[in-house]
A and B are shown apart, each in its own frame.
Chain A
C-alpha cells in the first residue's frame, strides 16, 4: 500500500488514536482561551469609504455616521468596535487594495463602500478571504445576485428605490387629494441621472401613475446655465417637474425657476440635491417645497432620535441624512452580530449576520433582516419635503411626521 492510499484508507491504528486524543486534548486546552479572547476584545471593523477623489464629500459624510457609532453602541450595551478606516479614493483599484490591506491588518469585518463598482471589488476580496462585508450604500442589484456567502446589504437596490418612489408619490397624492396630470422630466446626463431615466421607463408602467411624462430634458452635469432647459420645460405647460439631479444643478434649476417665474404644482425629486444641507442653506426660503424620494430614516424610531442628537453634538449644523443613517446601520449590524456570535470568527459572524433581526434601528421599514441572498428586502424609502429649513417626512404613512404642503408655494410670494 503506498502512502497516499494508506492515508485514504479508513484503517484506525493505535498511533492514529493516540494522535487523535492528543490533538483533541490540545484543542480543548486552547479553545476556551480563544473564546475568552475573542469575546472580550473589540471587533475590528474595516470601514471603506471614498474619502478622497470625486466622491470625497459623500465619503466624508458617510464617515460621520461611522464615527458616531461606537459611542452610541456603548450606551446600547452593544460590544465595542475598533474602526479601521480605509480610503477607497473613489477608485476601484484603490478599493480592492485597501480591502486587502485592512484584512491583512486584522480587520474581522468590512463595511462600505458607497459606490457599486468599488463595493463589487471589495466584495470579491471579502468572499475570497471569508470576511463578512456589510454594505452601507450601493444600489446595483448584481452585487447580491452573485451567490456570495459573506456579503450583506442593508440598502435598497435601484429597482426598490424607484418602486418605493412611485408608491410614495401615490401616497402623497392621495393625502392631498390632488395629482399632476402631466410632468416634465429633467435629469442630469451623468451615470446616475441616466440610470434613473432608464429605470423610470421600466418601473413606472407597473405603478399606474396618474401623470404622463410629456417631455424628457437631459442636461450636462457641468452646465453653468440651465435657462434654455428650464424655458423648454416651462413651455411644455406640465403640471409638475420631475427631476433627477445633483446639488449644483438643483440650485441652478431653482434659481432659473425663480428667474423665469415658473412655479410648477410640485417638484418631485428622485435623488440627491434638493434636500441637502447646502441647498437649504444657500437658497433659504427658495429651498422650501420640493419633495424628494430617497432612502431615509424613520423619525419615530427611538434610535433615530439618539443618532440625530449625537450628530447635532458632534457636527452642529449638519442634518441627519442617508449617508449617516446607512453607514451607522451597517456598523449596527456588525455590533449586533458580534454580540450574538460571541466570537470574532468570520464564519460565526457571517452566520450571525444571516440571522439578524434588528427592529430597534433607524431606517424606514420593519427593521434589518437579510434574505438568502444577503439583501435586506424590507428596507423602505421615504418622501421628504423641505420646510422652513428643515425636512419633514411625508411618506410612507408609518414614518410620516407631517402632511404634505401642496401645491408648491409660488416663488414670487416668498419675499
Chain B
C-alpha cells in the first residue's frame, strides 16, 4: 500500500494534505485565541480565494469585484436573521441563488455582448460599486448606518445559529475550506473543468472544438459567485456588523484575490498557500516588529506590496507551482 501511495504525484500529495488537515484539526488545542483568530483569517481568505479561483484560475475570467458576492451573502443572511429570525444555514440557501443570479446577470451582459478581459474586470468592479451605493441607501438594511446582528454571551456554541466562541467559527471555516478544496478538485477533473481550462487557454480554439463557451463561462461565474456567498455569511455572523463601505469595497475584492495570485492562480493549493503567506507572514512580521519594539503602522501593506512584486518578477505562476515541482508534488499543467 505504501508503495502504491508513493507511486504517483497524486498519491504523494495525499500524505502532506492529510498532515496539513490534521494540523488544522488539532490546532485549536495548541494555539491561543489570537493565533486562532489569525488561522480563521487565513482559512477565510483561502476559502474566498478558492472561490475566486474557479472563475479566474479555471475559466480565465478576471473578476475584480468579488466583494459583491461576499456582500450579497452577508446581507441576505444577516437580514433574514435580524428581521425574521431565520438562521444562517437557511439564509445561505437564499444567499446562494441570489449571488448566482447576480453573477449570471453580469456574465450574461459581458459574454453576450463580447465584453472580455480588462473590460470584463471593470464590469465586475462596476457591479460591486452599484451594490455598495445601493446598499448605502437601502433603509431596510439600515443603509450606511450599518446592519448590526444581535450579540449575546452564549453559554454554549449554537452551530445552527452560528453563535458561539471563535473555536466554533474556526471549525466552520475549516470545514468550508475543505469543502471548497474538494469541490474545486472535483470540478477541475470533470468534463466542465476541462472545458474551463480549454476556454482559459484559448477561447476561439475551444469554441472551434465545439465547446459552448458562453454556457461554460456562465457556469464558472455562477458557481464562483455561489461559493463566494458563503464567505459573506460567515463574515456577517463572525463580525456581527455590516457596513456597505466595508463589505462591498474594492479593497475587499483585492484582499480576496491576493492569496491565489501569490499562491498560484489555477492551482488547488495556491489559494491556501497564498493566504498562509500573506496573512501568516504579515502577522509574523508584526510580531517580530513588536518584539523589537518597532511600531510601524502600514508595514503590513508594504509587505503585501513587496510580496506581489517578488511574485510578479520571480514567480509569475505563483509560489505553489515551483514549490510543488521541488517537492515532487506537482499537479501537472492545469
Residues of A within 8 A of B (CB): 51-54, 56, 59-60, 85, 87, 89, 91-94, 96-97, 100-101, 103-105, 116-117, 120-121, 124, 127-129, 140, 142-143, 146-148, 158, 189-192, 194-195, 198
Expressed in whole angstroms, the Cα–Cα distance for A380 and B295 within the complex equals: 34
Contacting pair A120 B283 (CB below 8 A): no
Which chain B residues in 210-260 approach chain A with CB under 8 Å?
Answer: 239-241, 243-246, 251
- Residue B191 CB within 8 A of the other chain: no
Q: Within 8 Å CB of A116, what residues of B?
A: 146, 241, 243
Q: List 25 A-B contacts (CB under 8 A).
A: A51-B298, A52-B298, A52-B301, A56-B297, A59-B297, A87-B297, A87-B298, A87-B300, A89-B300, A89-B301, A91-B246, A93-B44, A97-B41, A100-B33, A101-B287, A103-B33, A105-B290, A127-B153, A128-B165, A142-B146, A147-B152, A190-B144, A191-B243, A191-B245, A198-B144
Given the known A-B contacts A104-B33, A191-B244, are A158 and B145 also in contact in the complex, defined by CB atoms under 8 Å?
Answer: yes
Given the known A-B contacts A92-B239, A120-B239, are A140 and B34 also in contact in the complex, defined by CB atoms under 8 Å?
Answer: no
Q: Within 8 Å CB of B34, what residues of A?
A: 97, 100-101, 103-104
- What 3 pairs between A and B have smallest CB-CB spacing? A51-B297, A52-B298, A100-B34
Which chain B residues in 277-304 approach chain A with CB under 8 Å?
Answer: 283, 286-287, 290, 295, 297-298, 300-301
- Min Cβ gap A102→B in Å is 9
Given the known A-B contacts A104-B32, A191-B244, A194-B137, are A60 and B297 also in contact in the complex, defined by CB atoms under 8 Å?
Answer: yes
Q: Within 8 Å CB of A94, what residues of B?
A: 300
Contacting pair B146 A140 (CB below 8 A): yes
- Range, interface on chain B: 35 or more
Q: Within 8 Å CB of A93, what residues of B?
A: 41, 44, 239
- Min Cβ gap A62→B in Å is 12
Which chain B residues in 88-146 approach chain A with CB under 8 Å?
Answer: 133, 136-137, 139, 143-146
Contacting pair A194 B283 (CB below 8 A): no
Q: Within 8 Å CB of B300, what residues of A?
A: 52, 87, 89, 94
Residue of B nearest to A140 (CB): B146
Of A52, A101, A140, which is within 8 A of B148 by CB?
A140
- Min Cβ gap B279→A in Å is 9
Q: Within 8 Å CB of B166, what residues of A?
A: 128
Expressed in whole angstroms, the Cα–Cα distance for A104 and B297 within the complex equals: 20
- Min Cβ gap B311→A in Å is 21
Q: Within 8 Å CB of B241, what residues of A?
A: 92, 116-117, 120-121, 140, 142
Q: Within 8 Å CB of A59, what residues of B?
A: 297
Expressed in whole angstroms, the Cα–Cα distance for A109 and B153 within the complex equals: 19
Pick from A51, A103, A142, A192 the residue with the most CB of B within 10 Å. A142
- Residue B206 CB within 8 A of the other chain: no
Q: Within 8 Å CB of B334, what residues of A?
A: none
Contacting pair A97 B245 (CB below 8 A): no
- Residue B332 CB within 8 A of the other chain: no
A interface secondary structure, majority: helix
Expressed in whole angstroms, the Cα–Cα distance for A192 and B44 within the complex equals: 28
Expressed in whole angstroms, the Cα–Cα distance for A136 and B44 within the complex equals: 29
Expressed in whole angstroms, the Cα–Cα distance for A103 and B33 within the complex equals: 9
- Residue B37 CB within 8 A of the other chain: yes
Given the known A-B contacts A195-B144, A195-B145, are A124 and B243 also in contact in the complex, defined by CB atoms under 8 Å?
Answer: no
- Min Cβ gap A116→B in Å is 6
Q: Within 8 Å CB of B283, what residues of A?
A: 97
Contacting pair B38 A97 (CB below 8 A): yes
Contacting pair A100 B297 (CB below 8 A): no
Expressed in whole angstroms, the Cα–Cα distance for A165 and B262 within the complex equals: 49
Contacting pair B144 A120 (CB below 8 A): no
Which chain B residues in 6-54 approach chain A with CB under 8 Å?
Answer: 32-34, 36-38, 41, 44
Of A120, A190, A192, which is within 8 A of B240 by CB?
A120
Expressed in whole angstroms, the Cα–Cα distance for A354 and B6 within the complex equals: 64
Expressed in whole angstroms, the Cα–Cα distance for A249 and B33 within the complex equals: 43
Q: Within 8 Å CB of A189, what residues of B?
A: 133
- Min Cβ gap A398→B in Å is 30
Q: Within 8 Å CB of A128, what residues of B?
A: 153, 165-166
Q: Within 8 Å CB of A142, what residues of B?
A: 146, 148, 241
Contacting pair A120 B297 (CB below 8 A): no
Q: Within 8 Å CB of A89, what residues of B?
A: 297, 300-301
Expressed in whole angstroms, the Cα–Cα distance for A146 and B240 within the complex equals: 11
Of B137, B143, B287, B297, which is within 8 A of A52 by CB?
B297
Q: Within 8 Å CB of B301, what residues of A?
A: 52-53, 89
Q: Within 8 Å CB of B145, what residues of A?
A: 140, 158, 195, 198
Known: A87-B298, A93-B44, A128-B153. 14 other contacts (CB 8 A): A56-B297, A92-B241, A120-B241, A121-B240, A142-B146, A148-B151, A190-B136, A191-B245, A194-B137, A194-B143, A194-B144, A195-B144, A195-B145, A198-B143
Pick from B37, B136, B298 the residue with the most CB of A within 10 Å. B37
Contacting pair B37 A100 (CB below 8 A): yes
Residue of B nearest to A93 (CB): B41
Q: Within 8 Å CB of A60, what residues of B?
A: 297
- Min Cβ gap B290→A in Å is 8
